[in-house]
Amino acid sequence: MGKKDLKNQHKDLVIHIIDILAELDPSKTNKFLTLLIKRFKEESSQFKKYITLEIMHLMGKENLRALKDFNNHLDNNRTEIKDVSLIKDFGDLHEQLVYAELKLKKRDLKKEISILYKDKEWLVLKPLSYESSKIYGAGTKWCTSSREDDKAFYNYSNDGVLLYVIKLGTKEKYGVHWYFEKEKSVEMSWWDVEDRKVDSLTLNVPSKITQIVLDHYLTIKQPNSDYFKGRDKERSEELKVKSDNCNVIPFNPEPLPNLVEPEWTLYQGNTTTTLDVDGLVSKSLEYTYMADAMKKSLEDLDN
């Protein structure tokens, strides 16, 4: 469907700037509208760019990145559906994206995960590549499975052990991480799909699963990145070097100039979410958990 047809179909989204400026005119006869239009035109050089950025934040950068990835798979005939009108929301899109990536990486995926435990209900695995982390972490707000930025995945993998605990066929999924200090595992933490820290003792997770995780915590001595290969190994080493070479700015005890305390004025107008969303870009994932896709991927691994 073309843009013209969509505009006719969604007339409530066709917004005219003059109509908006008219709402700002306090008069009943729009006698200040000409003045408002003149002022808007003086300040509107960056308007389109600003609006585009705001809409990107509203859509979610993770969703837009997934849309780009899905379109690439669609162009290369790797998607299960060909008619994009069947995609009703971003949840559908991410599910189809998982199918496409599993189809592309089916053979390699076995080498990019380490399965600690698997039965008909539960799966405990180590993601040993960024691609496998995106696939098995899909549907969560974990920064380690972000499509927008890979740094968190490699940093967590360099620091210690990262596990994904998945209850198959449900929305229940947990990320588990601990790091090493003097070759000893410390500070194990569990995180739910919303990236909220949770207490494993209060979860409806079978004791055999938590025991498997605990045994690994007590015995394993190598971080996940020790098992990386190829590009993942190179990327983890690159970030490790950058972390080790952080420059420390020396303290210079020179006297500070006389400073005048600023006066703060509370802004009464409209606000924007731009700054706040930028700070949360790696956690902007808002789509549903792809239970069926994940279950199918495990069946494929057994074949």
Query: Is residue 214 one of the residues assigned to a domain?
Result: yes
Q: Are residues 20 and 128 in the same domain?
A: no
Residue 182 has what pLDDT? 83
Going by their DSSP bridges, the two strands 184-191 and 173-181 should be labelled as: antiparallel
Residue 205 lies in a domain: yes
pLDDT digits (tens, 9 = 90+) for 27-38: 989 999 999 999
Find residue 186's DSSP bridge partners. 179
Q: How far is CA 248 from the centre of its chain?
A: 30
Helix, strand, coil percentages (3-state) for the chain, rounded to 5, are: 50, 15, 35
Say yes or no: 290 and 150 in one domain. yes
Distance CA 232, CA 228 (A): 6
**39 plus 116 within the same structural domain:** no
Question: What pLDDT is recorded for position 235?
Answer: 95
Residue 30, token pair as written in the block: 């729009």
Least confident of 73-87, 158-172, 275-289: 275-289
**Are 4 and 129 within one domain?**
no
Determine the Cα–Cα distance for residues 11 and 112; give it in Å rounded to an integer: 48
Phi/psi for 244 (5° steps) reads -70, -25
Could you tell me the residue range of the domain that residue 221 belongs to?
112-245+281-302
Q: Are residues 31 and 168 in the same domain?
A: no
Segment 232-255, tens digit of pLDDT:
999 999 998 877 654 444 444 455
Classify residue 66: in a domain, yes or no: no
Question: Is pLDDT of 290 > 80?
Answer: no
**Confidence class of residue 301 from pLDDT cuts 50, 70 and 90?**
low
Q: Please report, for the chain, how many H helices and E strands are present, in that order.
A: 12, 6
Q: pLDDT band at 120, cuts 50/70/90?
A: very high
Mean of pLDDT over the chain: 80
Residue 276's pLDDT band, with cuts at 50, 70 and 90, is: very low
* Distance (Å) of CA 264 to CA 226, 261, 267: 51, 9, 9
Q: Where are the alpha helices (DSSP H) in the chain?
A: 3-9, 17-24, 33-43, 47-59, 61-75, 90-109, 130-136, 151-159, 207-219, 230-244, 274-278, 291-302
Q: Do 17 and 117 fall into the same domain?
A: no
Residues 36 and 117 in one domain: no
Predicted local distance difference test score (pLDDT) of residue 118 = 93
185 Rama sector, left if φ>0, alpha if ψ -120 to 50, beta otherwise: beta
b/e map of 240-279 (b: 16 or more CB within 10 Å)?
Answer: beeeeeeeeeeeeeeeeeeeeeeeeeeeeeeeeeeeebee
One domain, residues 151 and 292? yes
| End-to-end Cα distance, the chain | 40
- How far apart (Å, rounded) are the C-alpha atoms in residues 246 and 201? 38
Q: State the pLDDT at residue 226.
A: 95
Mean pLDDT of 138-161: 92
Average pLDDT of the segment spanning 195-208? 93
Least confident of 79-83, 166-170, 288-292: 288-292
- Res 166 pLDDT > 90: yes
In a domain, 216, yes or no: yes
Mean pLDDT across 113-118: 94
> What are the tens digits of pLDDT across the range 36-71?
999 888 887 788 888 888 888 888 777 888 888 889
Which carries the bigger pLDDT value, residue 111 or residue 3?
A: 111
180 assigned to some structural domain: yes
**pLDDT range class, residue 116, cuts 50, 70, 90:** very high
Q: Which two tokens stand for residue 140?
A: 């969560």
What is the rounded CA–CA span in Å between residue 15 and residue 13?
Answer: 6
User: Are residues 218 and 117 located together in one domain of the fold?
Assistant: yes
Q: In degrees rounded to 5, what are phi and psi of residue 185?
A: -70, 135
Mean pLDDT across 108-129: 92
Domain identity same for 15 and 120: no
**Around 243, how many Cα atoms within 13 Å sit in the side-chain half-sphere?**
13
pLDDT value, residue 291: 58
Please give the single-letter amino acid code of residue 19.
D
Domain assignment of residue 290, yes or no: yes
Confidence label for 300 from pLDDT (cuts 50, 70 and 90): low
The confidence score (pLDDT) of residue 147 equals: 86
Within this chain, do residues 134 and 28 fall inside the same structural domain, yes or no? no
pTM: 0.63
Answer yes or no: is 289 within a domain.
yes
Both 40 and 129 in one domain: the answer is no
Work out the average pLDDT over 86-111. Answer: 79
Let me know if residue 210 belongs to a domain: yes
d(CA 1, CA 16): 22
Give the lowest-confidence range in 3-12, 61-70, 150-159: 3-12
Q: Domain count of the chain?
A: 2
